[in-house]
Amino acid sequence: MQKKERLDKILSNLGYGSRKDVKGLVKSGSIEVDGKIVKDGSLKIDPYSSVLKIKGEVVEYREFIYLMMNKPQGVISSTDDFRDKTIIDLISDQYKVFNPFPVGRLDKDTEGLMVLTNDGQLSHRVLSPKKHVEKLYYAEVEGVVTEEDKKLFSEGVILDDGYKTLPAKLEIIASDSISKIYLTIKEGKFHQVKRMFLSVGKRVIYLKRMAIGGLRLDESLGLGEYRELTNEEILLLEKKGLSK
């Protein structure tokens, strides 16, 4: 059984504006609950079992939204920035009204999987250092990445600030003047992948996040494109294992 919520809160969760806007909407007689016009915003209803109509249109209730984006380079992964374009600038008003925020950060020049949601608890669980949710990255690195680097990463390397990283899994796809690798890490320190390679004297020149937990980037999304997560994908986000 779902818990009942105030009508005005439901309407604001659905993105129908400020408290004042919502009040006006309710007063105007535009809201119908189970076939009856309701003019009292404090009325408590079960938004999942009641039929809610706004201006004659049936509205499907939801409190949270979950989006996956293929973040392009040159875009900041925060909700606002006075100078640069942010990932929020890339999404449509239909989703913006839910005030989504990114689950974790990517550098301005990093591409790939970014999850946006307004579900603070889920975000907290995914980002919690205690949960060790795995993040998979593809990187191109200047110089030859070696078996020795693989061993060092698996033991943990010391970053420039003296922090020792948790064991990480390095897979070498191609090892040449520019090496191609996959790296799975279980934490998310600032610039972590770049700094891990710097600790072994190498520079990351291209970085793309491929997965968070069991959730993989949908490669059919072009750079800057996004879509809603399916229910299965929302669950995968918190699953730790990545099967490649």
User: Which residues are near ligand URA by CB under 6 A?
Assistant: 106-107, 110, 191-194, 207
CA nearest 114: which of 65, 70, 66? 70
Smallest gap from Cβ 105 to ligand URA, in A, equals 7
Q: Cβ neighbours of residue 123 under 8 Å, at least 6 residues apart?
A: 101, 103, 117
Q: Take residue 37 and report the two structure tokens written for it.
A: 């016009």
Q: Cβ neighbours of residue 57 under 8 Å, at least 6 residues apart?
A: none
Smallest gap from Cβ 91 to ligand URA, in A, equals 19
- Contact criterion met (CB below 8 Å) for 166 and 185: yes
Smallest gap from Cβ 77 to ligand URA, in A, equals 8
136 vs 185: CA distance, rounded Å: 7
Smallest gap from Cβ 83 to ligand URA, in A, equals 19
Q: Take residue 60 and report the two structure tokens written for it.
A: 């499907």
107 tagged catalytic? yes
Compute the chain's Rg from CA coordinates.
Answer: 22
Smallest gap from Cβ 209 to ligand URA, in A, equals 6
Strand partners, 184: 136, 169
Q: Cβ neighbours of residue 221 under 8 Å, at least 6 residues apart?
A: 68, 69, 70, 227
Q: Note the residue count of the chain.
A: 244
Q: Of residues 107, 109, 119, 218, which has the active-site annotation?
A: 107
71 vs 88: CA distance, rounded Å: 11
What is the set of active-site residues?
A: 107
